[in-house]
Each structure stands twice: as C-alpha cells, then as structure tokens.
Structure 1
Amino acid sequence: MSVSALQPLVLANGVFLDPVTGREEGGDLVAEAGVIRDFGHAVRGSRPDGATVVDCRGMVVAPGLIDMRAFVGEPGAEHRETLASASRAAAAGGVTTVVCMPDTNPPVDDPAVVDFLIRRARDTAVVRMLPAAALTKGLHGTEMAEIRLLTEAGAVFLTDGARSVTNAQVMRRALTYARDFGGLIVHHCEDPYLVGDGVMNEGELASRLGLHGAPREAETIMLERDLRLVRLTGGRYHAAMISCADSLAIIERARSEGLDVTCGVSINSLTLNENDIGPYRTFLKLSPPLRHEDDRLAMVEALADGLVDVIVSDHNPQDVETKRVPFAECADGAIGLETMLAAGLRLVHAGELELATLLRAMSTRPAEILGLPQGRLRKGAPADLIVFDAEEPFVLDPATLHSKSKNTPFDGARLQGVVHHTIVDGAVVHSAG
C-alpha cells in the first residue's frame, strides 16, 4: 500500500507539541507533498484547495514515533507477524517508523534479503519499515557479515538482534570496520553464559517463586566490555536496551570520556518491575528480565536527565505454543508497538516524566541517532505525525490489537492515551473509530 499523500492535508484545531523545545502552540497544520508547510496560530483557517481536513478537537499533535527495535516474523515466521500486520499495529500505536530486527529465516545477513524487505514493506506496509542487518553471518557471532554491503543495500544499522556477540575479537573488528564508513553497531548486552538457566531477575523474588535468576552482571559485564572496545576502536555504538542502575553508571562514564555511545530502554523496563510477573505471567518473561523497582526508577530518572536516549517497544510476537507453557520453559518476548505510547503516558500521568521528554525519546532522538529526517515538528520536515488524546482512558483488550500475536504484558490494563490519527508522508494511515 502506498503511503504517499495525493492531496494536501490540514490538521485543524490541534495543540502542537515540539519534543525538542517542549513548546506547545494551538492552531492548524498544513502538509503538502509529504512535508510540513506551516503550523500554528498564523495558519489557522489557511486551507489549500482540495485539502483533506482533520479536526483534532484540541488533541496533541506531535511527530510520529520511531521504534528502533521490533521483531517481525517475515520472512520465515509469518504466523507470528508480517510486515503488513506489524505496520497496522504500529500505525494504531502512533509509530510511523519501525526498525525491524534481522532475526528472521533466513536472517538479514545478505543484501538480497535487505532488498526483499524494503520492497515487501513498500508494497504491504502502511508505515515506514526499515531493515536492520545482521552483524555476523547467520547471527552466529563468529564471523562478521558483509556489513558495508548490507548498509549500502539500505540497512539502517548492524545488530544481531536478540543475540549477543560474545567473541570480543569479532566485536572489535566490526566496530573498527563500521567506523570507517560511519556505520552504527547496536548490541544486545547480555552474556548468555552468565544468564545460564536464568528466567527472571536474580534476587529474593526469584527465590520465592522457585525460578532461576539472571544476575544484573550479565548485562553490565557485556556492556563494560563493549565500551572498552569502543574506546579502543573509536566506533559508533548503541546499547539496544539497558535495564539496571549499574549500567547507567557505565554509560555515564563512557559519555564523560567523549565516546560516541548512546543507549535505549524498553518501555517494559520503564513501566513494569519484577513484581508484575505475579503468578508466573509468561507474557512478562523478557530479555533483559524485568528488574527491581529501584532499577525501574533509576531508568526513569536517567531518561528524564537525558542519559538514556531512546525508548523502544522491543516488540516480539510469540504464538500460543511458545507462551502458554510453564514460565521457565516459555519464549522471551512481548508485543509492544501498539501500546508503547499509552504505557509511556503512565509515567507522565504519575508525574515521573514530562510529556515532551517522553515524545523526544520516542521520536526526535531515534531520528537523530539513525540520521533520519523524521521525528521533528518543524517546517519542511516530513509530515509523519500523530494526533492523540493523552487523557482518554481505556482498558486493553488483546483481541482488539492489530498484531497477529496477542502476548501483551498489558492484558486487561487500565491505560490512558488513545491515538486518533496517524499520518505518514502526509497521508492518514490510521484513524480511531
């Protein structure tokens, strides 16, 4: 499905929120040829001939969200998710750009697969679906993939997705090689040998539940190693998801040394903790695992301070066969594209985070890291926008979600924040109701 705008678009009576400055301004917005022509009080009532007019009714208008970490089944596991179904879920959640992880079958370790995904998304998706490519061949972590060719084919960064590269020499070579053409390495910081049989955060709760715990050190040791290699090579590095206070100290030290390092956090780590697992709720078995409440609060504070750069959905659809089993045996992962914004608004309503800060971490900062023109509310920027009511309450019914899989950690949760319109390239791709 093409997302190109065929006619001008006017968003009338909106409250425009700039995530960069935090400035709010009422008025209208005019988009033509896929870009923002003007917005604010000055253009109120200015409507080009033949324009489609959307009445925002005083709702927030902001840049569309950019999700840097989503697992999509296509190719190879279309029963879990396709590019088409993931894009519909994204649009319903206000996500206008999705970066798809290379954990597919075959994996995205060949330029031909990158090209296939780009063409397939162009033909079937309603939002922008961008491929990430494998850092190592077959995602095995032993031999570097042809990362320059993959980047030239259209991959936005290099990663082994949910797998960690445990071979330090391979990681060093990848950082060095990618540095020479400005490539970005994104890494899942988790030592699988130290995790071992761990299925949740190591601590008192894991002991009481009779489950093997995964220590925080599985994350921090891998992160510390990676940043020492960044110091050695001068490469660009992004920690895909960090989840504990100790990791924040490591990131802060690297930043103070001037290293080109950024990091993300899962919406789950920001809004949930290990206690939410409750009676062995398998939809909350994640990697990294949900941590202690102290770690969650530390992540929220670091996001507010700008130490954590981006929020990701970590969208990972799993079917019934892999989730409706005992907790220790089930697959990691939860879906999140459609609920990322509403879950994040919990922090805003609780007074833990400013709305502009939340939106900046979900739009502007990912765009800056990836070198994309989206994620900005300004004249001449791509007209990728969302219109949402931050106060509108709802109870999440998994049956209403657009993803093929329904493994949401927010099953039955009371949330606030409904996306009423999603616009990509100046065209409305989702409208609620």
Structure 2
Amino acid sequence: MTNPELVVRKAVWKGDEVDLLVADGKILNIIPSSDAMYEGAEVVAARGLLLMPSLTDVHTHLREPGFEYKEDIRSGLTAAVHGGFSNIMCMANTDPVNDNSVITDEMLAKAKAAFPEGGPRLFPVGALTKKLEGKELSPMHELAEAGCMAFSNDGLPVKSSEVFRRAMEYASDTGRPVIDHCEDPYLEVASGMNEGKVSSLLGLAGQPDVAEASQVARDLLMAEYLDMHIHLAHISCRKSVDLIAWAKKRGVKVTAETCPHYLLLTEEAVHGYGTDTKVNPPLRTADDVVALLNGIKDGTIDMFATDHAPHAAYEKEVEFMIAPCGISSLDTALSLTWSLVAAGKLTFDDFIRMWTTAPCETFGLPLNSFNKGDVADFFLFAPDEEWTLSPENMHSKGKNTPFMGQTLKGRVISHFLSGKKIV
C-alpha cells in the first residue's frame, strides 16, 4: 500500500472512531483508529471531532465583476472555505453579465489568484440568454468550453416559453443542464413577501406561491416533452414540492434544491419589516416548511443550496419594498442546516446527500465519499461548539442575515482541500 502523506487520527465518521489516510491529494483509506505509525506522514489529532466531506454549493452570487462592494471572488471563496465548502457554482448576474468566455475566464483567474496554492473551486454558471434579457440565447458552447458547468437566467426568469425551450435544447447540446429560477414574471416579481395573512397585516404587496409553482409546472412539462434534464432553483413551497414529486413519478429528468432559510424561517419573520428577511422567492408558511422537510426525506428535493446573496449595509437599510432581496449565507449554512440534524428533523445521511453527494453527482463536480481515490476534501467539525453570529466573525462582505446575533451550534475546526489544510 502507498504510504500516507497525511493521517487524521481519532476522527468520528458515522459513529465510529477512525483514522483517515491521505496521499497525493486523494483518499487512501479510512480505517478503525489505531496507534499505528506511518513514517514521514503528517499526523493531525482529530480528538473525536466529526469527519465531514466538504460541502458543495450549486447556487451562489459572488457579485464579481461589477458589484465588488457587495462581495468579490476572494471574499466569497474565503467565506465558503470557512463555512465548509469546497465547490462553489456562481451565478451569472454580474456586470457585465457572464454571457461570454471573457467574463468566465476572468472569474476563474480571480479564483486562482485568491488561492494560488489551491483553495475552493469556482465553477461559473453561464447566462442562459444574452445580458439575461430573455430574448437571445447566449453562446453556450463557448461558455461551456471556458468552464461554465450550467446555464441560468437566475434572478430574471425567461418569460417566453419558446425561448426557454430553445435554450434547453441548445444547453443540452453542450451536456450542461439549465438551472431555472421559477417565478411568474407578472405576479409581484421579487416582492420579497409571501402573499397571505402576514402580508395583509403588514400592508405589503406579496407574491403568491402559485407564482413559483406555475413556472415549476411549465418547466416540468417542458423537460418531459423534450426528455431533457432541468434543475429547479430555491424551491420554497408545498405546491412546487407536490409538482416535482408528480413529475419524478412520471420519470421526468428533474432535480431540485432548497435553501436553509426556507426550512428555518417563515413569513412570520417579516414582522417588524426587517429587510434581512426579504428574499426571492419569499419566506413562506409553516405548512410549506413541513412540505419541504418531507420532500427532503422522500427524495423529492435533491440538494441544498445557499442562494448566497450579499448586499452592502446601506442597500438593506431602506424601506422593505425598495430593499434588494437576499441573505448572506455562506458563513452560516453549515450550522443552520446542522441544527435540523441535531433536532432530529433530518438524518446525517440526509445531510451528506443534500450538501455533498447529490450536488456533485448532478453537476459532475469533485466528490468525496471517503472511498479510495476520492478527492481528499474534508473538514473536522465540532457539532456542539456554540458561537454567536456577528459582523466580525463573518468572512463574507455581506452581513445581511436575519440570524445576526443568534447563537449557532457547530463549527469548522480545520478544512482540508485535496489533502492540504486551508483553514
């Protein structure tokens, strides 16, 4: 057997105390813990910390180029690696829009410059249409060759079903899936508030759940007709979960994500008009939260995503209806979703599937399942360590989160990417 270069000793993996052996940036073996000596190997004492495969985020807004005052690639990837993430897929709504290979190349170069010795991997998502205008298809083959792993008009859903059909067909030729932000463009777009009792009490214009579900239905029918894969972004409501479950039973090639805030908050959080609760799609009802959790358990919802959307403080310090939508999430997503495991609402296996296995398998990204030869992306995790979220301990430039000031549980102690300690 090849001699290990790194030994992580006395870590806990699925309830067992283990030693992890790493060589050449790959998993060599994972074995019951022992006092065996490995000549020349670096030894890391895990001291009973949980061993976790690195997480993957398929839906992140890193803002660069064009909006570096909100976030830049360096700060976003720094937040990601401290938050447990190794793979980041960043959306195209930059300025200029990532609708040509020059922008894609620039993003990848910035990521490499941020971590020249190796760090979180950046996988750009190319624009589905030029300038995200929903009219003319982007040069998807050029974008795919430059390194884009998927295509999306995220934030500006394509109004025309004909254009969307052609975009799916063109994307299919590249072997890259389409990620769709499902939102009826004529039903209170980006209002940031669910339409219902709370919106009526607060006097805010709200977006009904049917605005999301109607576009989900369109996409599912289109995917079935074309026999092509569609990935549905940030699912937030029961109607959408029911539609996706129906489609999967019919054999439609669909995958879907949801976000931590849709599982931990409801529209009730908007009382007080706090703009950090304004997201798109909006926070829904307690019944929608139940449906999403059940959808995770039965496989209807395939994966988590952060929808990390950092903003400058002054942009959120305005009236609710004119504030931008979005929550800064890379720093907190791990702890927030781990709380669902700690509460017994999700299992450890659910957690690993949602954050690691499904996103990597769906989008063809480096995956660590702790099998021999897997990329050695992992972190040591203290599940019971408490920390209070503050602007000072967030690595993202965006401090816009409704969880600010709350005590969270679970923290990354050290993070290794391709066998090298990054944090």
Q: Is the 8 A contact 2:87 2:365 kept in 1?
A: no
* Offset of residue 31 of structure 1: 1.2
Structure 2, gaps ≥5 residues long: none
Q: Does 1:76 align with 2:66?
A: yes
Q: 1:88 aligns with which of 69, 78, 84?
A: 78
Q: Does 1:320 align with 2:313?
A: yes
Q: Which residue is 1:21 aligned to? A: none
2:293 to 289, 294, 300: 300
Aligned to 1:33: 24
Instruction: Report deviation, 1:278.
Output: 2.6
Find the counterpart in structure 2 of residue 106 from structure 1.
96
Shift, 1:85, TM fit: 0.7
Does residue 1:269 correspond to 2:268, yes or no? Answer: no
Q: 1:198 to 1:316 in 2, by over 3 A?
A: closer
Could you tell me which residue of structure 1 aligns to residue 10 of structure 2?
A: 13
Partners of 1:176 and 1:234 within 8 A in 2: no
Within 5 Å, which residues of 2 pair with 1:352-367? 352-367=345-360
Would the aligned equivalents of 2:98 and 2:126 in 1 still touch at CA under 8 Å?
Answer: yes
Displacement of 1:141 after TM fit? Answer: 0.9
Asked if the contact 1:97–1:128 (Cα under 8 Å) also holds between the matched residues in 2, the reply is yes
Superposed displacement of residue 51, structure 1: 2.8
The superposition leaves residues 149-206 of structure 1 with CA deviations (integer Å, 9 ceiling, x where unpaired) of 2112110101112221111111100111222342200000111311247330000011
The 3 A distance-change label for structure 1 pair 197 and 288 is closer
User: Which residue identity does 1:292 align to in structure 2?
Assistant: T
SS at match of 1:201: coil
Return 282-291 or 340-349, whichever deviates more. Answer: 340-349
| 2:224 counterpart (218, 231, 235) | 231
2:19 is paired with a residue of what secondary structure? strand
Question: 1:387, 1:199 → 2: CA distance?
Answer: 36
Measure the CA separation in 1 of the matches of 2:35 and 2:99: 50
Which one of the candidate residues 88, 97, 121 is aligned to 2:111?
A: 121
Q: Give the percent of matched residue pairs that are identical in Structure 1 and Structure 2.
A: 35
Aligned residues: 417
Match of 1:349 among 318, 342, 347: 342
1:60 counterpart residue number = 50
Alpha-carbon deviation of 1:329? 1.1
Q: Offset of 1:420 from its aligned partner?
A: 0.6
Return the offset for 1:121.
0.8
C-alpha contact 2:368 2:376 (8 A) present in aligned 1: no
- Deviation, 1:428, is 0.9
Equivalent residues of 1:16, 1:40 under 8 A apart: no
Q: Which amino acid aligns with 1:12?
A: R
Q: Partners of 1:135 and 1:109 in 2: how far apart? A: 8
Q: Which of these residues, 239, 246, 260, is aligned with residue 246 of structure 1?
A: 239
3-state SS of 2:315 partner: helix
With normalisation by structure 1, the TM-score equals 0.93
Secondary structure at the aligned position of 1:158 is classed as strand
Q: Is 2:99–2:143's contact at 8 Å kept on the other side of the alignment?
A: yes
| Counterpart-to-counterpart distance in 2, 1:199 and 1:238 | 22
Once the 2 structures are TM-superposed, how far is the Cα of residue 48 of structure 1 from its aligned partner? Answer: 4.2
Q: Verify: 1:185 aligned to 2:175, yes or no.
A: no
Residues 47 and 159 (structure 1 numbering): CA distance in 2 closer, same or farther, change over 3 Å? farther
User: Offset of 1:52 from its aligned partner?
Assistant: 2.7
Q: Is the 8 A contact 1:182 1:236 kept in 2?
A: no
Q: Which amino acid aligns with 1:40?
A: I
Cα distance between partner residues in 2 of 1:196 and 1:123: 37
Q: After TM superposition, where is structure 1 displaced by more than 6 Å over at least 4 residues in a row?
A: none
2:134 corresponds to: 141
Q: Is the CA contact 2:144–2:174 (under 8 Å) kept in the aligned structure 1?
A: no
Over 3 Å counting, the alpha-carbon distance change for 1:346 and 1:177 in structure 2 is same
The one-character-per-residue Cα deviations of 1:64-116 (angstroms, maximum 9, x if unpaired) are: 00000110121111111111111111111111111111111111100121122
Classify 1:338/1:152 alpha carbon distance in 2 versus 1 (closer, same or farther; 3 Å). same
Q: Does the CA-based 8 Å contact 1:394-1:415 persist in structure 2?
A: yes
CA RMSD of aligned residues (A): 1.5
Provide the residue aligned with 1:205 in structure 2: 198
**What SS class does the counterpart of residue 132 from structure 1 fall into?**
strand
Does the C-alpha gap of structure 1 residues 45 and 144 become closer, same or farther in structure 2, counting only changes over 3 Å?
A: farther
Evaluate the alpha carbon distance shift between residue 197 and residue 140 of structure 1 in structure 2; reply closer, same or farther with a 3 A threshold. closer
* Long gaps (5+) in structure 1: 1-6, 18-23
Instruction: Please give the secondary structure, in 2, of the residue aligned with 1:214.
Output: coil
Shift of 1:375: 3.8
CA contact (8 A) 1:97 1:127 kept: yes
* Distance in 2 separating the partners of 1:46 and 1:192: 62
Question: Which shows bigger deviation, 306-315 or 197-206?
Answer: 197-206
Pairwise CA distance, 1:398: 2.3
Question: How high is the TM-score relative to the length of structure 2?
Answer: 0.95
Mapped partners of 1:185, 1:368: distance in 2 = 15
Of 295, 305, 325, which aligns to 1:332? 325
Contact 1:25 1:40 in 2 (8 A): no
CA deviation profile, 1:353-384 (whole Å, cap 9, x unmatched): 11221122001110010112324221110001
**Which structure 2 residues correspond to residues 408-423 of structure 1 after superposition, within 5 A?**
408-423=401-416
Whether the 8 Å CA contact 1:10–1:47 is kept in 2: the answer is: no
2:7 alignment partner AA: V
Q: Report the CA distance between 1:46 and its aligned residue.
A: 4.5
Contact between 2:83 and 2:330, CA under 8 Å: does it hold in 1? yes
